[in-house]
Chain A
Amino acid sequence: MTGFFLSQIQGLDPLTSDEVLVAQNVFFGLIALVMILAALKMVTTENIVHAALYLVIVLAGAAGMFILLGAEFVAVTQILVYIGAIIVLFLFGIMLTKGSFGTEEGELRERNRMAILVSVLIVAVTSGSFIDSFRDAELNRQAPSTTADIGDSIFGQFIIPFEAISVLLLAALIGSVVIARRDQ
């Protein structure tokens, strides 16, 4: 939003002009730096609560990126779903189930090799497929989609996938309740 607003004040249309958006680029760099550092700390820290809190910074950075791209709806969804719900669930789970909150070196060391393999594979596959599909494509500077547009397309064009996902989530919910209450 910052870059978007700035360019509006200066009388530029951020989506059609060829001007380089300085503020947007500066903020992109700052957020990216913070995200990378937090992500590195997240995987290297041996305290699992700290890892979850570093993940908050990474996810907040992702929300900031979405705002820079003019996708405020996605940004807010990112905050609501990931920071407000999933991280809270993580922390809640860690605090309710763990006997100690300290470090657990042995357990982590054993898994390190596997984790490195998986992350290298993920980076290779995603970056490979992105580079392959967008190699020379120029970014299409469409107008940022408004919330109303998103609502219309979810409940219009994409109504069947949307309903399918709803049913899937409902099934997962019922499944977790069944597993949790098996003894009764």
Chain B
Amino acid sequence: MTVFNLAIELAYWQQTVIRSILGLVAVLLPAGTLVYLYLFKMMSFMQSRLGPMEAGPYGSLQLLAEVGKFLQKEDLFPRAADRVVFKAAPFVVLASTFLLVLVLPAGPDAWFINIDTGVFLALAVSSISVIGILMAGWGSASKYSLIGGLRAAGQLVAYELPLVLAVMGVVIQAGTLNVQEIVLAQANGEIFGWGGIGNPFIITQFLGFVIFLIAIQAELTQPPFDMPVAESEIVTGYLTEYTGMRFLLFFIGEFATAGIFSALAATFFLGGWYIPGLDPTSNLFNLIGPLVLVGKMLLVSFLIFWFRFTYPRFREDQLQQLAWKVLVPLSLLNIVATGVLKVVF
């Protein structure tokens, strides 16, 4: 595959600049795609309407119009707000998103960081957003915000556990915490000696996949887990006092995280950037890997948004019960079963 050989020697700073720009793209592109494709269009079709149609063909420029609208708005602060905390909160949430994208590999050499503790790092930095949300809830000096922030924090802490435990099955099966090696383990895997499609972990870890998806949905505070921003009770929870650019930052954070979590699910359970039939070390994957990963990401996020538009909101107690009494025991069972089978086979 010398045709696709892109091996150019780059200095460290050049690599860093390229990785930073690509990181920005990897955060913003999925966010925009998900908002237009699913939030604007799919939700409209599911509700028997057309959605945005005016700006550009099929409303494709609606996103730019929305961003323009938010940029024009006045930067308002509640009088009693703690300004520094209030201002910093959206950036803390976004920082968590940007750190999360680091661990995603998009090809054999196309990665941001390739470290031993990739999975662990992803799960650790995803928990930073809780602090941002608590900061927003407290800094706004508003009852709705505080209640929303506390609800969000309680929910995020509760669903972090199933999220982590669901991935443990994959980690046990792959025998590594390195995300790149998890992809390779699936690419080189065999199903009872047949290596035709590798061994995507969704087959053996289906329970883990389902738990992971539910936990993602809850971590994103999307319906049916949108108690923290329940508009009929607490306006929009911790977002109540935010307008303009700061609201937009939270919004981008939510949808970018949806994209990145979907990509992580695709990487852990669907084989990541690998498609069957090609050599996983081939240089070709540095080119098509990102596209494959985006395709799989769209597939997983389709599921997430399908549930989002379909189910009504959980009550707070139902939500906590689902996490602690159903998902955590199930994922622990999954870990035990995976561990036993790993030793037996």
CA distance A15 to B307 in the complex (A): 51
Name B147's closest neighbour in chain A (CB-CB): A95
User: Which of B12, B85, B160 meets A53, CB within 8 Å?
Assistant: B85
A92 touches B153 (CB 8 A): yes
Name B116's closest neighbour in chain A (CB-CB): A147
Q: Mark A75-87, 1 if CB is under 8 A from B, else 0.
A: 0110110011101
User: Which of B120, B125, B137 meets A73, CB within 8 Å?
Assistant: B120
- Residues of chain B contacted by A95 (CB below 8 angstroms): 134, 137-138, 146, 149-150
A91 touches B127 (CB 8 A): no
CA distance A76 to B150 in the complex (A): 25
CA distance A91 to B11 in the complex (A): 43
User: Which of A56, A72, A101 meets B131, CB within 8 Å?
Assistant: A56
Q: How far is the CB of A75 from chain B (nearest CB, A)?
A: 8
Whether a CB of chain B sits under 8 angstroms from the CB of A146 is yes
Name A89's closest neighbour in chain B (CB-CB): B157
Stretch in A1-9, A26-34, A174-182 with 4+ CB within 8 Å of B? A1-9
User: Which of B12, B82, B124, B134 meets A91, CB within 8 Å?
Assistant: B134
Whether a CB of chain B sits under 8 angstroms from the CB of A49 is yes
B134 touches A92 (CB 8 A): yes
Q: Tell me if B's interface is mostly helix, strand, loop or mixed.
A: helix
Whether a CB of chain A sits under 8 angstroms from the CB of B318 is no
Q: How far is the CB of A3 from chain B (nearest CB, A)?
A: 12
CA distance A84 to B123 in the complex (A): 10
- Residues of chain A contacted by B138 (CB below 8 angstroms): 49, 91, 95, 101
User: Which of B115, B116, B121, B157 meets A88, CB within 8 Å?
Assistant: B157
Whether a CB of chain A sits under 8 angstroms from the CB of B135 is yes
Q: Which of A124-162 contact B (CB under 8 A)?
A: 146-148
B124 touches A76 (CB 8 A): yes
Whether a CB of chain A sits under 8 angstroms from the CB of B130 is yes
Name A5's closest neighbour in chain B (CB-CB): B12
Q: Mark A50-76, 1 if CB is under 8 A from B, else 0.
A: 100100100000000000000011001
A76 touches B121 (CB 8 A): yes
CA distance A5 to B160 in the complex (A): 31
User: Which of B12, B134, B157, B177 meets A147, CB within 8 Å?
Assistant: B177
B interface, how many residues as a size bin?
20 to 34
CA distance A145 to B67 in the complex (A): 47
B127 touches A83 (CB 8 A): yes
- Residues of chain B contacted by A148 (CB below 8 angstroms): 116
Name B175's closest neighbour in chain A (CB-CB): A148
A83 touches B115 (CB 8 A): no
Name A79's closest neighbour in chain B (CB-CB): B124
B85 touches A76 (CB 8 A): no
Known A56-B131, A88-B131, A92-B153; judge A79-B12 contact (CB<8 A).
Answer: no
- Residues of chain B contacted by A88 (CB below 8 angstroms): 127, 130-131, 134, 153, 157
Q: Mark B14-25, 1 if CB is under 8 A from A, else 0.
A: 000000000000
CA distance A6 to B131 in the complex (A): 31
Whether a CB of chain B sits under 8 angstroms from the CB of A123 is no
Name A73's closest neighbour in chain B (CB-CB): B117
- Residues of chain B contacted by A146 (CB below 8 angstroms): 116
CA distance A84 to B242 in the complex (A): 24
Name A56's closest neighbour in chain B (CB-CB): B131
Further 14 A-B residue pairs, CB within 8 A, beyond A88-B131, A91-B134, A95-B146: A9-B11, A49-B82, A49-B85, A72-B116, A73-B120, A77-B124, A79-B121, A79-B128, A91-B131, A92-B153, A92-B154, A101-B138, A147-B120, A147-B177
Residues of B in contact with A (beta carbons under 8 Å apart): 11-12, 82, 85, 113, 115-117, 120-121, 123-125, 127-128, 130-131, 134-135, 137-138, 146, 149-150, 153-154, 157, 160, 177
Residue pairs across A and B with Cβ atoms less than 8 A apart, 10 shown, are A1-B113, A5-B12, A72-B117, A76-B120, A76-B124, A77-B120, A85-B157, A92-B150, A92-B154, A92-B157
